[in-house]
Amino acid sequence: MNTLPSLSVIVCAYTLDRWDDLRAAIGSVRAQNRPADEILLVVDHCQELYERACAAMPGVRVMPNRERKGLSGARNTGVAAARCEVVAFLDDDAAADPDWTDRMLERYDDPDVVGVGGLVRPWWGTGRPVWFPQEFDWVVGCSYRGLPEQPTPVRNFIGANMSFRRAEVDSAGGFRTDLGRVGTRPLGCEETELCLRIAARRPEAVLLYEPAAAVRHHVPETRTTWAYFRSRCYAEGLSKALVTRHSGSRAALASERTYLRSTIPQAFVRTLRPGRPGALRTLAALSAGVCATVAGYVIGRIHSLSSGSAPDRPQQTPELPTDGTPEPFWGSPYALRGWGSHGRKG
């Protein structure tokens, strides 16, 4: 029987406004059937939160972000401080199921698996809006309709629930600090870019989506408005343009092409069925979401090309409205060679 690898769980936080959510996140890790070997809380440039967490969370390694301000720098700080073979990332407003670590770690018995990501269920604070299409749950940082229901290799993970072999993250150079969220600025895709880099370095590497390794992600009322929906879609388009700049459009947009050709048309057909509550508003959301995301991507690409900067250098991005946001995720995973439809290698 194989021994499970050691595990460091990294939670990144930047504000006291989500203190209750943060306590729930840490509590869910402590309550695992298979306890993590260590829990790291990285505080992103918020001294008051750092001091409060140090006093209130014994047994948790609390540390300040020692890199550039933002989620990417905080994650890199956690990876650098981690002592275990696998590093797992949990959002500060997410709570893991009791078997999260077990389900995740058992997949590392395959040496080709370099990362495991899991299901992110939305936990709507005020209930799901009737118009909000499940195909767009990535807007609130959650798994969306269209993802596989069985373990499947994927291109990239959802940032709220993912893990990697620590050595792979180190070898790839960590998360790019010119990508990703800074405070409430709604940019992202740093986890997508890292996954693409890891895959480019090791073509045989497998990034495995394991839906049984599940968490719930708090969705507050502020993220259920039309304004938030549109701004997040637009921001995701901008973020995807930056990833394209670093990784090339073929790799960066492979999953998005599948999403637009398959997932979205199926969503329109499903919504048009008789008796669908809020059908007209859902159709409007589907259309507006696609248009806003494409617009953000086009504007981001134009800005990137007009900047004239080298492909691997950080660049400024167009201004966006600032609103609290989880990790964005847009696209559909695709199967890798050697894996069957049920996530078994064959």
What does the pLDDT look like over 172-208, one tens digit per residue? 999 988 765 544 455 557 888 898 889 888 888 999 9
Other CB atoms within 10 A of residue 237 CB: 24
Terminal Cα distance for the chain, rounded: 21
Helices 279-307 and 226-247: angle between axes, nearest 10 degrees: 40
Q: Which residues contact 318 (CB under 8 A, 6 or more apart)?
A: 238, 299, 300, 303
Residue 305: predicted pLDDT: 65
Residue 187: predicted pLDDT: 56
Q: How many domains does the chain have?
A: 1
Question: With b meaning 16 or more CB within 10 Å and e meaning fewer, what string describes 201-221?
Answer: eeeebbbbbbbbbbbbbbbbe
Instruction: Establish if 327 belongs to a structural domain.
Output: no
Instruction: Establish if 319 belongs to a structural domain.
Output: no
Question: Both tokens of residue 68?
Answer: 């550039």
267/135 Cα distance (integer angstroms): 7
Instruction: Establish if 230 belongs to a structural domain.
Output: yes
The residue to which tokens 């967490």 are assigned = 53
Q: What is the dihedral of CA 13, 217, 96, 175, to 10 degrees?
A: -50
The residue to which tokens 């409205």 are assigned = 321
Residue 250: predicted pLDDT: 55
Instruction: Establish if 208 belongs to a structural domain.
Output: yes
Burial class (CB in 10 A: 0-12, 13-18, 19+), 341: exposed
Nearest in space to 135 (alpha carbons), one of 267, 290, 325: 267
Question: Both tokens of residue 309?
Answer: 């900067």
Q: Is 177 helix (H, G, I), strand (E, B) or coil?
A: coil
The dihedral through the CA atoms of 106, 164, 329, 344 has a sign that is negative
Nearest in space to 210 (alpha carbons), one of 144, 141, 117: 117
Single-letter residue type at 129: P
Residue 302: predicted pLDDT: 85
One pLDDT digit (tens) per residue for the chain, 346 residues: 568 899 999 999 999 999 999 999 999 999 999 999 999 999 999 999 999 999 999 999 999 999 999 999 999 999 999 999 999 999 999 999 999 999 999 999 999 999 999 999 999 999 999 999 999 999 999 999 989 899 999 988 999 999 999 999 999 999 988 765 544 455 557 888 898 889 888 888 999 999 999 999 999 999 999 999 999 999 888 878 877 766 554 555 666 777 888 889 999 999 999 888 889 999 999 999 999 999 998 888 887 666 654 343 333 333 333 333 333 333 333 333 344 433 444 3
Residue 259: predicted pLDDT: 83
Residue 164: predicted pLDDT: 98
Instruction: Establish if 279 belongs to a structural domain.
Output: yes
Cα-atom radius of gyration of the chain, to the nearest Å?
A: 19
Residue 258: predicted pLDDT: 76
Residue 190: predicted pLDDT: 81
State the residue range of the domain holding 70.
7-307
Instruction: Establish if 99 belongs to a structural domain.
Output: yes
Mind giving me the DSSP string for 28-42? HHHT-SS--SEEEEE
Which CATH number characterizes residue 295's domain?
Answer: 3.90.550.10
Instruction: Establish if 337 belongs to a structural domain.
Output: no
Nearest in space to 174 (alpha carbons), one of 323, 293, 21, 72: 72
Instruction: Establish if 189 belongs to a structural domain.
Output: yes
Residue 333: predicted pLDDT: 36
Distances (CA, A) of 184 to 256, 318, 321, 326: 25, 15, 9, 9
